Structure 1
Amino acid sequence: MTEISASAASGAGAVSSGRAAPRGGAAEGSVEEIREGETAAGGPATAPVDERLPLGKLFVFGLQHVLVMAAAPIASVFMMAKALGFAPDLTINLLSATFILCGLGTLLQSLGPRGVGARLPFVMLPGGAPIVLFILIAQQTDLQTAAGAVLLTGAAYFVFLPLFRCCLRFFPALVVGTMLLLVSINLIKVSGLLITGSPGTPGFAQPLNIVLAFATILFTVLFSRLLTGLWRQLSILLGLVAGTFVAFALGAVHSAPIPLWPLVSVPSFLPFGVPKFDVVAALPLIIFSVISMVEATGQTVAISETVGKEIDQKRDVPKTIRGDAVMSLLGGLFGTSLIVTSGENIGVVRATGVRSRFVTVCSGLILVVFGLLAPLTKVVSLVPEAVVGGTGVIVFAIVGVMGIDMLRRADLRNHANMYILAVALCVGLLPIVIPGMYSNFPPNVRMLLGNGVAMGAITAALLNYFFFHLGRKGATDAPADPH
């Protein structure tokens, strides 16, 4: 669950020089885009990303983001509980902590106080790969060591960040667009597994689940086509609700009575006891922190272009990474794995055209309330996975479209650009389409090579350096963009 986007526009060359250019073309009902610092009608203008919508709109748009991403924290906690044999009380405690931390992280990234957080409409989630690594560390050592590994990794972000910041010029539009396309394919696969279940498990590819997923997609498309204004912008949320109603009518919603007690669930501090710090045991998660920085770069460029905000990569990408670091440190203190910025909501922003970061501020508040009120968390968990998967595949496919849109900036008739994209896609897609490809490699190597998104992005960045920087004195930017 991992968790990344961009749109085409003029000013493409700005990306390769470390600045993401704003763009227009938002969906109907969105506010006209005005750059920060400009004036309209003789007065100071409010950029769309900083627009404060009416409270009612903030709530429904914020809820839309929450419902699209809610499956990730629920699934991550249940996966940990099943693998590590947690008692029901501990599972509920960790579910509460995960929702609250996701909410606080979303607030941090959206508000961005004191250079921590991007001031962009991001949501934060427990990363899929970090959850698996947390489980493996706990199984090989103990839960205290796993919690300590999360804390060490949170600190590692701050250690690696200055060096990583110097490498950001090697991530032009061609590299970021490749990353977005790979992210989209990977997330579509994850959502597809919500629809079908894993191969070889009971109930795999049940026709009812597939029908529910396609019904959800159909409703979303119909609402987007037939509705206008605010209602069109809510087409993703309405499609998810309509799909849930269909599931309920067909008996696919397991509507057991929701216990109202305990009403409030407060997460425990250090639920596994005092952390143990073992750098060797933490190494897989520490390595992942570098991969996470690469992903955060693509996410920051993508969402900034989606909302029409010009950024400086060397200044603004580290803000996103600092937010990931702070929330991961908190995750280690409250029993979760790394809490990182997610690309899951970028497709929602692009599809709706609602670019205000205060929408995700509202999403963060909703997540905190969900975490504190145990019955609400259980209600959200009733939405069938097939319906969530149907919503996910269309949202994440939009992320892929945005990646393709960004790739159009690069002249793919150029010999170097063609090879950069082709090889990066090969390296990135192979572990996605052949999951066990690196199963016989050492664990740490397997973790790195098996992350198709990270490997594709790293390959593209290295080849971009090889073709456009290596041996060229004074070269500062890869001519990967035609402008």
Structure 2
Amino acid sequence: MTKIQAPSTEIIRPEDKRLGIGPSFIYGLQHVLTMYGGIIAVPLIIGQAAGMNRQDIGLLIAAALFMGGLATLLQTLGVPFFGSQLPLVQGVSFASVATMVAIVNGGGGIQAVFGAVIVSAAIGLLIAPIFSKIVKFFPPVVTGTVITTIGLTLMPVAANWAMGGNAKAPGYGSTSNILLAFGTLAIVLLLSKLGNATISRLSILLAMIIGTVVAVILGKADFSKVGVGPFFAFPTPFHLGMPTFQIAGIISMVIVVLVILTETTADILAVGEIVGTKVDSKRIAAGLRADMASSIVSPIFGSFTQSAFAQNVGLVAVTGIKSRFVVSAGGVILVALGLLPIVGRIVAAVPMSVLGGAGIVLFATVAASGIRTLATVDYKNNMNLIIVAVALGFGMLPIASPTFYDDFPTWFSTIFHSGISSAALMAILLNLLFNHLKRGNSENPSVFAAGTDRQIDISILTHLKDGDRCEDGKILDADGREIPLVNKPATGH
């Protein structure tokens, strides 16, 4: 007798969809191009601060690409207890730049930076489960605020790229640079409107290619140095020296790790919201562990703290490609770039102005996604409006005035210098204060609360008695019997 097999009821998560090898690597390359400028910026800054020669700085860049790829694979594919299995691209964290430069300038050198990263990441790995438990304190009023802030805080990055990327370079901020950025943005919009589904999804990548071709014609792109340097190079463990461990540097990096954990939690929640998948405390903990485990290994190969790249969250929103395997393909490309410096040099030749044009739409899309989340929040007869307002205000302060917290203690300025962590911390604290710790809340909300727009004739109250109530559109008395509604003409009393 033939058995009839019951249809599978397993629900496939949006992020688990596979697109095939070809499309995955094409869309993965788009992710790499989106974050390439950001991932090479940190080793450039740290290498220059440490007084390293071009060859050693090149090794730092190769290590950043190599470790970013491995960290991305761990985050997207996952192993037990490590990796959120979400479409998140990993790379060197911007949050650690100021602290690492301070360690270098303090006489510790690049080796002290490596030691501080290893120890602080190990501490972060231990406390990751604690951070994962705060997911219940991230309702839409918090996540929407944080996602919006992520997009807004990235706009200065897009503006800097559009102007040329290097303030000391000739032509920085020139009309030609900005017009090239706007031209790239226009191509993105044009392809999104006129192209078919495939072209629309590849609009960012195609616009970068077209923008680069235009830049070559205008003489604003230089590929002459692509062939200078080794074709293949494997990052050698501890090739820049063994790490050293200084208490002051470790303490300052622990503060940075707390900021990174906060920002990564926000990124995980943001991409989960965009993808439309369930994100619980276990998944957040696994994502944070992947961050910290990658950060522990990074200094061995000459790199730094790893975290999720917020700009790639915007790319997921723009393209609608939710597959984590697409980002995994991007991770493979990053590893290849780390092993093949010549390929990295080709990608690095893409003008920053072209990246800036794409960045405008990418980063603004993140903010728009946050606004969409905030639109689902209930603002009536509560303090959610003031929570959003104050948290956004704190998030914008370091963007509007980068030196705002310079005179505060180092630990304080390190945390609040990041607009994302500022907004996240304020949104969480205010949500706790007004929506969880309700004792002491006024029965009559302040002027900042959005009241209901409905009105009921006060004369109705004269007919109600103790125990009367409204259920399912019916008025019931104390015994649960329905009170009929009648339409009586006015009596003139």
Q: Given the two structures, how large is their TM-score scaled by the length of structure 1?
A: 0.86
Q: 1:330 to 1:106 in 2, by over 3 A?
A: same
Q: Corresponding residue for 1:280?
A: 248
Q: Corresponding residue for 2:27?
A: 61
**Partners in 2 of 1:233 and 1:130 — Cα distance?**
33
Q: How does 1:51-450 map to 2 (within 5 A)?
A: 51-140=17-106, 141-196=108-163, 197=165, 202-259=170-227, 261-312=229-280, 314-450=281-417
Q: Radius of gyration: which is bigger?
A: 2
Q: 1:62 to 1:463 in 2, by over 3 A?
A: same
- Please give the root-mean-square deviation of Cα atoms over the aligned residues, in Å: 2.2
**Partners in 1 of 2:278 and 2:291 — Cα distance?**
21
**Partners in 1 of 2:320 and 2:189 — Cα distance?**
15
- Which of structures 1 and 2 has the larger relative contact order (alpha carbons within 8 angstroms, sep 6+)? 1
SS of the equivalent of 1:286 reads helix
Cα distance, 1:444 vs. partner? 2.3
Structure 1: gaps (5+ residues): 1-39, 474-479
User: What is the CA deviation profile of residues 276-304 of structure 1, one whole-angstrom value per residue up to 9, with x for unaligned ones?
Assistant: 22232222221121121221222112212
Cα distance, 1:87 vs. partner? 1.6
**Partners in 2 of 1:347 and 1:452 — Cα distance?**
17
User: What is the CA deviation profile of residues 336-381 of structure 1, one whole-angstrom value per residue up to 9, with x for unaligned ones?
Assistant: 2211112221111111111111101110111111110111011111
Give, as a single letter, the amino acid of the residue that structure 1 aligns with 2:48.
Answer: K
User: What is the CA deviation profile of residues 246-290 of structure 1, one whole-angstrom value per residue up to 9, with x for unaligned ones?
Assistant: 111111002214226521111121233221222322222211211
1:216/1:391 contact within 8 Å kept: yes
1:74/1:95 contact within 8 Å kept: yes
Cα distance, 1:200 vs. partner? 8.0
Give, as a single letter, the amino acid of the residue that structure 1 aligns with 2:237.
Answer: F
Q: Given the two structures, how large is their TM-score scaled by the length of structure 2?
A: 0.84
1:131/1:338 contact within 8 Å kept: no
Give, as a single letter, the amino acid of the residue that structure 2 aligns with 1:84.
Answer: A
> Relative to structure 2, which stretch is displaced further, 373-382 or 139-148?
139-148
2:171/2:177 contact within 8 Å kept: no
Give, as a single letter, the amino acid of the residue that structure 2 aligns with 1:259.
Answer: G
Cα distance, 1:327 vs. partner? 0.9
**Partners in 2 of 1:110 and 1:321 — Cα distance?**
12
Cα distance, 1:168 vs. partner? 2.8
1:134/1:337 contact within 8 Å kept: no
Q: 1:226 to 1:149 in 2, by over 3 A?
A: same
> Relative to structure 2, which stretch is displaced further, 200-209 or 446-455?
200-209
Cα distance, 1:457 vs. partner? 0.9
Identity %: 34
SS of the equivalent of 1:340 reads strand
Q: 1:418 to 1:41 in 2, by over 3 A?
A: same
SS of the equivalent of 1:167 reads helix
**Partners in 2 of 1:162 and 1:376 — Cα distance?**
38
Q: 1:112 to 1:250 in 2, by over 3 A?
A: same
2:223/2:346 contact within 8 Å kept: no
**Partners in 2 of 1:42 and 1:451 — Cα distance?**
46
